[in-house]
Chain A
Amino acid sequence: MVAFRIHQYQVVGRALPTESDNHPKIYRMKLWATNEVRAKSKFWYFLRKLKKVKKSNGQMLAINEIFEKNPTKIDNYGIWLRYQSRTGYHNMYKEYRDTTLNGAVEQMYNEMASRHRVRFPCIQIIKTATIPAKLCKRESTKQFHNSKIKFRWCSRRLGHHLGS
């Protein structure tokens, strides 16, 4: 499970300065990737689609990992995504309950893979946001909005010290 840890990166880059444009505009993007190398690559991928700049005539100014501010707080995360299915592109909005945004994004990738057979490269995250409980749309997240939550849990005691 630790192998496919998704991190959030802030990537900042711009086109290389030329004689005609000494101070090209600087662009910043927040991405999810498993490591910094992939984050930089994804940054150029998106920037190419938005502006006329490529990695060969651009420069990376900064790449920083963004960490969760409050990993002990549970939030409802809404994720807007665009994914490629076998027949075309679709938009989707999904909700997840998790302590960290990276955890929610990881849940999203796993769920898209299992429910829709969509793999990591075919998903683009448009937007993420923490949603206050009142504005959640999905029943599966709303059912946990209960301050007196209580349910049964029957578990078999597995063999002691499993995996240790």
Chain B
Amino acid sequence: MPFKRFVEIGRVALVNYGNDYGKLVVIVDVIDQNRALVDAPDMVRSQMNFKRLSLTDLKIDIKRVPKKKELLAAMEAADVKKKWENSSWGRKLIVQKRRASLNDFDRFKIMLAKIKKAGLVRQELAKLKKTAS
């Protein structure tokens, strides 16, 4: 499988360490071999170490160091938010966040739902076993 997730201008990355943990940012320029200039719609443009970033598959089409307006427009055009939330990685993160924010009642409801689902699965399995034997 050839390498796909390059560090390049326009690459969307997820911050995986530090104050901006969990944010999607765009690599706007490369400072040197360890740091990138990084920008997102809701933060001031700043430098970030590559070690703090996890590269994603998404890439938007921008020139080196775009103005904030151009960056926002390009992000809208590429529909980064929607694509991220529909990707499997993005969906997993949303589910994790939801699970972490449950209260006890929600967990109780989940327990009931799991039991119900397991019961249905077992019924179907029993039916299949019967027809197979």
Contacts and interface: CB of A to CB of B under 8 A. Distances in A.
A74 B50 CA distance: 16
A72 B16 contact: no
Contacts, number: 67
B55 interface: yes
Interface residues of B, number: 29
Nearest to B68: A72
Q: How large is the interface on A (under 10, 10 to 19, 20 to 34, 35 or more residues)?
A: 20 to 34
Nearest to B46: A72
Given A99-B47, A144-B31, A158-B16, A153 B65 contact: no
Interface of B: 3, 5-9, 16-19, 21, 29-33, 37, 44-47, 50-51, 53-55, 63-65
Given A155-B54, A163-B17, A163-B18, 18 more contacts: A72-B37, A72-B45, A74-B65, A98-B32, A98-B47, A144-B31, A144-B32, A148-B9, A149-B7, A149-B30, A150-B8, A151-B8, A152-B3, A152-B7, A155-B50, A158-B17, A162-B17, A164-B17
